[in-house]
């Protein structure tokens, strides 16, 4: 019986590995663990959820990783479907999908000097880090433009974690799940110096951004999403790999 079972399982694995798909999507993305990550199991929580969703619809997905600004630029190519994930404000000419999942946006801070605030203007006088190319929130951007808030922009979230740890800035605006991953997994040496501020600025919806050549594919993703709970798929991944911290 064990031999028969082994043969059956082998056959099923071969069948799964040789499955052909009717369509193939090339998607530009970035190193944004735990959601999209070339080093993470199955490319991260959001990437796995997208692959699983589209695979069920007969579509294979290939992720290409670049820094964020390059990801957006390369996503304009005709042989690329678009970029993922994106906040609500996609680039001009791109069409966003319906919201796929949510993740909180907030601040990281020095453990020894936590940020105390009830509303954003309370952070006046603090030096805050942001990541180049991120949309953040309308109120935050307005206060930066009005010079109520002082910000310094860098190319990566990773850099902001390091700068907070070294005391070069007072805090940084980041996706909270991304911040926790970087502090606990990528830079555990900073865990004693950097913490996540308990006040959440906003729960941000995450989307897929389709370029002008492939905006018709948005309907295919929408149909595929009807058969899954995308948020639950993301949350289950975070729980499985112990990436969620309360």
State how far the alpha carbon of 29 is from the alpha carbons of 41, 157, 164, 198, 201, in Å.
Answer: 16, 15, 26, 28, 24
Tokens of 93: 């000419």
* Averages of pLDDT over each 10 residues, the chain, 246 residues: 47 51 95 95 97 97 95 96 96 96 97 97 98 94 98 95 98 96 94 96 97 97 97 94 58
What per-residue confidence (pLDDT) applies to 243?
Answer: 63
Residue 64, phi then psi, degrees to nearest 5: -120, 125
The answer to whether residues 177 and 132 touch, using CB atoms and an 8 Å cutoff, is no
What is the β-pairing status of strands 82-86 and 101-110?
unpaired
What per-residue confidence (pLDDT) applies to 1?
Answer: 45
Beta bridge partners of 175: 105
What per-residue confidence (pLDDT) applies to 25?
Answer: 98
In whole angstroms, what is the distance from residue 52 CA to residue 44 CA?
A: 12
What per-residue confidence (pLDDT) applies to 17?
Answer: 45
* 43 Ramachandran zone, left/alpha/beta (phi>0; psi -120 to 50): left
pTM, rounded to two decimals: 0.86
Residue 10, phi then psi, degrees to nearest 5: -60, -45
Sign of the dihedral defined by the CA atoms of residues 218, 224, 225, 226, in that order: positive
């Amino acid at each position: 019986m064990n031999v028969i079972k082994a043969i059956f399982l082998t056959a099923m694995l071969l069948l799964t590995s040789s499955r052909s798909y009717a369509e193939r999507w090339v998607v530009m993305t970035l190193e944004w663990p735990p959601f999209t990550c070339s080093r993470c199991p199955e490319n991260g929580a959001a990437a796995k959820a997208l692959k699983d969703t589209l695979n069920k619809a007969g579509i294979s997905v290939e992720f290409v990783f670049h820094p964020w600004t390059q990801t957006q630029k390369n996503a304009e190519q005709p042989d690329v479907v678009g970029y993922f994930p994106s906040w609500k404000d996609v680039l001009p000419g791109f069409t966003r999908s319906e919201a796929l999942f949510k993740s909180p946006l907030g601040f990281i801070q020095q453990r020894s000097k936590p940020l105390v605030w009830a509303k954003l203007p309370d952070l006046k006088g603090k030096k805050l880090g942001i990541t180049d190319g991120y949309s953040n929130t309308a109120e935050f951007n307005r206060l930066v433009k009005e010079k109520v808030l002082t910000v310094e922009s860098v190319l990566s979230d990773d850099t902001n974690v390091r700068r907070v740890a070294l005391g070069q800035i007072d805090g940084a605006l980041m996706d909270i799940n991304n911040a926790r991953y970087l502090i606990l997994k990528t830079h555990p040496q900073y865990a004693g110096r950097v913490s996540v501020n308990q006040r959440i600025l906003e729960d941000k919806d995450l989307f897929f951004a389709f370029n002008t050549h492939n905006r018709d594919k948005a309907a295919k993703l929408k149909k595929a999403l009807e058969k899954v709970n995308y948020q639950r798929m993301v949350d289950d991944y975070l729980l499985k790999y112990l990436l969620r911290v309360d």
